Amino acid sequence: MNWLEIAITLAEILVVANALMIGVSIMTWIERRLSGMIQFRWGPNRVGPFGLFQPLADGIKFLMKEDIIPAEAHKPIFVLAPALSLVTALCAFAVVPFGPTVEIAGRTIDLVILDLDGGLLFGLAAASLGVYGIVCAGWSSRSKYALMGGLRASAQMVSYELALALSLIGVVLLSGTLRPVAIVEQQAGWFWNWNVFGGWQILGFLVFLVAGFAETNRLPFDLPEAESELVAGYHTEYSAMKFSMFVMAEYIAMITVSAMATTLFFGGYQLGFPVPLEGWPLAILQVCAFLAKLSAFLVLFVWVRWTLPRFRYDQLMDLGWKRLLPLGLINVIVTGALVAFDLLGN
Amino acid sequence: MELVAFVILTALAVVSAGVVLLHRSPVVAALSLAANLIAVAGFYLLLNAQFLALLQVIVYAGAIMVLVLFVIMLLNLPEEARRHDRPSAQSVLGMALAVVFVAVLGWALARASSGQEFPPSSPTFGSVGSVGTALFTTFFYPFEAVSLLLVVAMIGAVLLAKRRI
Amino acid sequence: MSPSAVLVVSAVLFALGVLGVLTRRSAITILMSIEIMLNAANLAFIAFSRQFDHADGQVYAFFVMTLAAAEAAVGLAIVIALFRLRESTDVDELHLMRW
């Protein structure tokens, strides 16, 4: 029972969980302002300078709204569903390395909560369990829109998990390990060492990105919560804090998918160019590089959402099974050939 | 510490299996089976089999149970009606036999290696590499046969559920 | 935590699965009880794999998981086909072939 290690891990968990929650509120502001820019209108700009206090106002509103549970709903599962969504979304971030190894008071600390040997599998496991929150929400509301949304969401998420896993296999073949820390360390040096450039994983990256959009139920794959067709899909009957938990779970899932994309394909916290620094300044610079790449992907998420129209459900399943799956397999075969015949430089 | 985790996981596994047996709503039974599968994954972690534990969560709890839930909701299965008649001879006999089965098997297994602990495992036990190596060297032919079986099962499932072949 | 403790847990889970198959009426809950039985067997495999420090038990458990997935898929397809025919999944009503 190494209490010091437990304390360090608890401190890391606290920092990361708080950072994720703050990230969610920043994301709501970015989403509303950016969508306003894309749609040629002002976003929220009343509450504080540039509307920066809007997330605070949203939070207060959600806390004070009346919490309605439909009389027909199955109460235990109705209350459990948003908690399930939020917990699995938070757990998935535990294996992402957001910084290098640092030295604090003579102790080396890895800036990652869980350095598992099968870290990528843990991320996949958390993504698989994320379906349950939506399925429980859809069923327990006992309303037809919610049930349809829940069914569509479960089928969509299970189908795109396959494409997600296949795109990861290319990276695993290149790196020879499932540890995200080791995968990031192998992408050190110049930016053409990153997996997406030097490892020829551009196809894998695109498959991962599309599957990531589908896993987080973001447009153009947001049929489960389609606002114009299904009222609000699986979270129709939810109000106040439970609804905000679903929103938080979706944004945290987006942040996790962006973090995985930067870790696996874009070098994680690596800077991309050699810097004559050591120790603490380098670590801070690398964490900032990680956050910058994360933000770029999040802006991409918002940009795509407000630009592309929604897929019809059969088009969505067609894309997942008949196009992404063969592309993922082609990526695995090509990457396997590259590694087996040692065609890559290193 | 390990003992505490073992006791908690045993309680979770047995209670959730009991709920699957007894609850009248199929959806609640399916969700409690998912909890049971996650408890068994916890057991695998206690036994140092990391790869299998993660696979259990991904494949069993994350895919198979979602499929079962999907079918239950698609068919809109009602809750089983409460039966007010006496339990039939078959269920009484079943319960008696199950108790006898657990008693005999438990006694035999407990007598076999009671009081001993697990030997310390090698550092690569349960890692992805060790299981993968065994899978692709010793068990290569069963591996290919199982993949063929999966193709057959997929085709069979699609054909069986079609309205018109 | 001794090997016998883990094996007794596996036996208890297996017995609960058998009880479920014998007692429940809906076809899907019977399938779920079969999954409990398969899990109990997997737990025994992994316990023995750890006891002898050999990866074979884990490979067997891997194969059992794969087979359970295939069996669940085909079983559920049969249940769907049956439901379309008889509008219920009650196995007590499937006695067309009884003489």
Q: SS3 sequence, chain A? A: CCHHHHHHHHHHHHHHHHHHHHHHHHHHHHHHHHHHHHCCCCCCCCCCHHHCCHHHHHHHHHHHCCCCCCCCCCHHHHHHHHHHHHHHHHHHHHHCCCCCEEEECCEEEECCCCCCCCHHHHHHHHHHHHHHHHHHHHHHCCCHHHHHHHHHHHHHHHHHHHHHHHHHHHHHHHHCCCCHHHHHHCCCCCHHHCCCCCCCCHHHHHHHHHHHHHHCCCCCCCHHHCCCCCCCHHHCCCCHHHHHHHHHHHHHHHHHHHHHHHHHHCCCCCCCCCCCCCHHHHHHHHHHHHHHHHHHHHHHHHHHHCCCCCCCHHHHHHHHHHHHHHHHHHHHHHHHHHHHCCCCCC
Task: Looking at chain C, list the stretches that DSSP marks H as alpha helix, in order from N- to C-terminal side.
Answer: 3-23, 27-52, 56-86
Task: Indicate the Cα dihedral angle B25, B27, B29, B32, nearest 10°.
Answer: -140
Candidates B69, B76, B121: best to mutate against A (most CBs of A within 10 A) is B69
Paired residues of A101 in beta bridges: A110
Q: What is the largest CA-CA distance in chain A?
A: 65
What's the rounded Cα separation, in Å, for the pair A229 and A177?
A: 44
Weakest-pLDDT range from A256-270, B97-111, B145-159, C70-84:
B97-111
Residues of A in contact with B39 (CB under 8 A): none
Residue of C nearest to B6 (CA): C1
Question: What is the three-class DSSP state of C98?
Answer: coil
Report the pLDDT averaged over residues A172-179. Answer: 90
Tell me if residue C26 falls in helix, strand or coil.
strand
A78 at B interface, C-beta within 8 A: no
Answer with the residue of higher pLDDT: C23 or A96. Answer: A96
Query: For residue C97, what are its two tokens?
Result: 């072939």
pLDDT above 70 for A331:
yes
Tell me, yes or no, if A116 comes closer than 8 A to chain B by beta carbon: yes
Report DSSP state, residue C90: B
Range from A66-75, A90-99, A235-244, C9-18 carrying the lowest mean pLDDT: A235-244
How would you classify the pairing of strands A107-110 and A101-104? antiparallel
The yes-or-no reply on C/A contact (3 CB pairs or more, < 8 Å) is no
Question: Cis omega (within 30 of 0) on the bond before B26?
Answer: no
Position A346 confidence tier, pLDDT thresholds 50, 70, 90: low
Identify the three-state secondary structure at position C79: helix
State the amino acid at position B71 in one-letter form: V
State the amino acid at position A282 in one-letter form: L
- Tens of pLDDT along chain B (165 residues) come to 888 999 999 999 999 999 999 888 899 999 999 999 999 999 999 999 999 999 999 999 999 999 999 999 888 888 776 666 667 787 788 888 888 988 888 888 777 766 677 888 888 888 888 999 999 999 999 999 999 999 999 999 999 888 776
For chain A, what is the mean pLDDT?
87
Sign of CA pseudo-dihedral A170, A176, A182, A185: negative
If you ran DSSP here, which 8-state letter would residue B60 be given? I
Residue B18, classified by CB atoms within 10 Å of its CB into exposed (0-12), middle (13-18) or buried (19+), is: middle
* Residue A122: Cβ-neighbour burial (10 angstroms; 0-12, 13-18, 19+): buried
- Tallying the residues shown for chain A, one arrives at 346
Question: How many angstroms separate the CA of residue C98 from the nearest CA in chain B?
Answer: 17
> Is any Cβ of chain B less than 8 angstroms from the Cβ of C32?
yes
Per-residue confidence (pLDDT) for residue A212, from 0 to 100: 93
- Looking at chain A, the whole-number percentage of residues with pLDDT higher than 90 is 41
- B–C CB contacts, 8 A cutoff, strictly below: 226
Backbone angle region of A289, left / alpha / beta, with phi > 0 → left and psi within -120 to 50 → alpha: alpha
**Domain layout of chain B by residue ranges:** 1-79, 127-165
Identify the CA nearest to C38 among candidates B138, B65, B152, B110.
B65
What pLDDT does residue B82 have? 64
Task: Break chain C into its structural domains and give their ranges.
Answer: 3-93
Q: Are C89 and C82 in contact (CB under 8 A)?
A: yes
pLDDT of residue A229: 62
Instruction: For residue range A40-62, list pLDDT tens digits in order.
Output: 998 888 888 888 888 888 889 88
Is the pLDDT higher at A81 or at A230? Answer: A81
Dihedrals phi, psi of A101, to nearest 5 degrees: -75, 125
pTM: 0.91
Structure tokens at A294: 């994360």
The pLDDT tens digits for A201-226 are: 899 999 999 999 998 888 788 777 76
In the block, residue with structure tokens 């770029």: A296
Supply B102's token pair.
């657990």
The residue of chain A nearest to residue B37, with distances taken between CA atoms, is: A129
- Give pLDDT tens digits for C32-59: 999 999 999 999 999 999 988 889 999 9
How high is the ipTM of this complex?
0.91
What is the per-residue pLDDT for A218?
A: 82
Lowest-confidence segment of A267-276, A293-302, B64-73 by average pLDDT: A267-276
Question: Is residue A230 scored above 60 in pLDDT?
Answer: no
CA separation, residue A294 to residues A20, A285, B37, C48 (Å): 12, 14, 34, 44
Closest CA to A139 of B123, B47, B125, B79: B79
C5 in helix, strand or coil? helix
User: For residue range A128-165, what is the model confidence (pLDDT) as tens digits?
Assistant: 999 999 889 888 888 877 888 788 888 899 899 999 99
Environment class of C54 (CB within 10 Å of its CB; exposed 0-12, middle 13-18, buried 19+)? middle
Q: What is the pLDDT of residue A280?
A: 81
Q: Which residue has the higher pLDDT, A277 or A106?
A: A277
- Per-residue confidence (pLDDT) for residue A336, from 0 to 100: 92
Q: Looking at residues A106-127, what average pLDDT do you find?
A: 84
Residues paired with residue C26 on neighbouring β-strands, in sequence order: C90
Nearest-CB residue to C53 (from B97, B119, B133): B119
Cα angle at C48 between B43 and B29, to 5 degrees? Answer: 40
Which range among A195-199, A321-325, C76-80 shows the weakest confidence by mean pLDDT? A195-199
Chain B, residues 69-98, CB within 8 A of chain C, namely 71-72, 74-75, 77, 80, 90-91, 94-95, 97-98
Q: Which CATH number fits domain B1-79: 3.40.50.2300, 3.30.200.20, 3.30.420.40, 1.20.120.1200?
A: 1.20.120.1200
Distance, CA of A264 to CA of C70 (rounded, Å): 31
Q: CA nearest A235: which of A129, A130, A127, A148?
A: A148
CATH of the structural domain C3-93, one choice from 1.20.1250.20, 1.10.287.3510, 3.20.20.140, 3.30.420.130: 1.10.287.3510
User: Domain segments of chain A: what residues?
Assistant: 3-40+65-340
Structure tokens, A300: 């991409």
The closest CB to that of B40, out of C43, C55, C76, belongs to C43
In this prediction, residue B115 carries a pLDDT of 65
- What is residue B65's three-state secondary structure? helix
